[in-house]
């Protein structure tokens, strides 16, 4: 990766901070920073563990910014000094999670908390969180989105006037995407239930898919995760009960499922209802194609009476 050229007036620490906030930089999340006066603001932060792990993998990024490694000085010292410089220059600030106990029914704390509090001690500690104090660098995607957003709004307003085939294609595309997403969600839960019931292992397809603190790309990464239960925690009783419940559910669904003709008829009714609701069945196609429907809206006007002849 080519190094970014630093201008005369550009702070090299700010340059590195921008690199850490790039797409391939340190994982981040958004949260509410609760202030002492009760107010709050939405901020972007990173975990100290993730920041340290990233810098350990690419220690050359710190060259020239902190003292080099020498006998008695390690990369951990470099990371500590770098974070101290970031804090001193107002690029980041140390914070801690507000709620330090897991939620009821949970065994672990969430990876990225939703509420943070400023830490009184601003020394480096990778078990804490670090808030970026300046706005994220503007990317090309931001400008593209700014231009595309009003265009999308205008196109949405013009949707009823679009050609019939275009509206149909748009609706079916959205329906296909929605069906694919719902099917994927169903598959991941069925796969997890099947594997966990048989083996006790936790196998998740797209484990971040249902999280609300990640972006679209992070939601589909990694593709799969596999966790082996600890010894003595196979949960065979719970698995046996879950297997019995799943078996009973599939049995009821199989023997009480409607026949194919009924499902086909209901699907056609739902399809026609949707098209009618969106006016895609061609009822107003003539009007949308430029036809004249003025006859349907004309009313009979009363005859014009000539006041001269009327008096005669």
Residue range 21-44, pLDDT digits in tens = 988 899 999 999 998 887 889 999
- Among the residue ranges 10-14, 58-62, 249-253, the one predicted with the least confidence is 249-253
Tokens of 39: 């107010």
Minimal CA–CA distance to 26: which of 61, 2, 72, 63? Answer: 61
Q: In 10 A of CB 50, how many CB atoms?
A: 20
Q: Nearest 5°: phi and psi at 273?
A: -65, -40
Tokens of 7: 């201008």
Mean pLDDT, to the nearest integer, of 213-235? 77
What does the pLDDT read at residue 219? 80
The confidence band for 3, taking pLDDT boundaries of 50, 70 and 90, is very low
**pLDDT tens string 150-207:** 999 998 898 888 888 888 888 889 999 999 999 999 999 999 998 988 888 888 998 8
What does the pLDDT read at residue 50? 94
What does the pLDDT read at residue 184? 94
Question: Rounded to an integer, what distance in angstroms lies between the CA atom of residue 193 and that of residue 261?
Answer: 31
Contact 205, 223 (CB under 8 A): yes
What does the pLDDT read at residue 306? 55
**pLDDT tens string 253-312:** 888 888 888 888 888 888 888 777 766 555 544 444 554 444 444 445 555 555 555 554
Contact 91, 133 (CB under 8 A): yes
The mean pLDDT of the chain is 83
Q: Reply yes or no on whether the pLDDT at 132 is more than 60.
A: yes
Question: Rounded to an integer, what distance in angstroms lies between the CA atom of residue 201 and that of residue 206?
Answer: 16
The confidence band for 14, taking pLDDT boundaries of 50, 70 and 90, is very high
Return the domain boundaries, the chain. Answer: 12-132, 162-257
**pLDDT tens string 61-83:** 999 999 999 999 999 999 999 99
């Amino acid at each position: 990766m080519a190094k970014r050229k630093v201008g005369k007036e550009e702070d090299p620490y700010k340059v590195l901070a921008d690199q850490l906030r790039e797409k391939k930089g340190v994982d981040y999340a958004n949260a509410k920073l609760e202030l002492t006066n009760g107010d709050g603001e939405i901020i972007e932060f990173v975990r100290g563990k993730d920041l340290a792990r990233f810098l350990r993998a690419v220690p050359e990024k710190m060259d020239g910014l902190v003292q080099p490694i020498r006998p008695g000085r390690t990369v951990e010292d470099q990371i500590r000094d770098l974070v101290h410089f970031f804090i001193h220059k107002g690029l980041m600030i140390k914070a801690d999670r507000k709620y330090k106990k897991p939620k009821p029914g949970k065994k672990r704390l969430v990876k990225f908390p939703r509420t943070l509090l400023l830490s009184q001690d601003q020394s480096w500690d990778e078990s804490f969180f670090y808030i970026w104090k300046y706005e994220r660098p503007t990317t090309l995607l931001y400008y593209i989105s700014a231009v595309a957003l009003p265009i999308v709004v205008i196109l949405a307003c013009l949707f009823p006037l679009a050609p019939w085939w275009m509206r149909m294609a748009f609706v079916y595309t959205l329906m296909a995407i929605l069906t694919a997403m719902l099917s994927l969600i169903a598959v991941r839960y069925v796969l997890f239930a099947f594997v966990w019931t048989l083996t006790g292992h936790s196998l998740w397809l797209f484990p971040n898919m249902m999280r609300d603190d990640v972006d679209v790309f992070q939601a589909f990464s990694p593709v799969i995760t596999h966790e082996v239960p600890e010894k003595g925690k196979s949960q065979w009783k719970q698995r046996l009960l879950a297997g019995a419940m799943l078996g009973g559910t599939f049995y009821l669904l199989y023997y009480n499922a409607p026949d194919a003709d009924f499902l086909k008829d209901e699907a056609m009714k739902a399809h026609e209802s949707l098209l009618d609701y969106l006016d895609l069945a061609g009822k107003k196609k003539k009007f949308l194609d430029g036809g004249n429907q003025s006859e349907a809206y004309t009313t009979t006007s009363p005859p014009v009476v000539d006041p001269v002849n009327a008096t005669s």
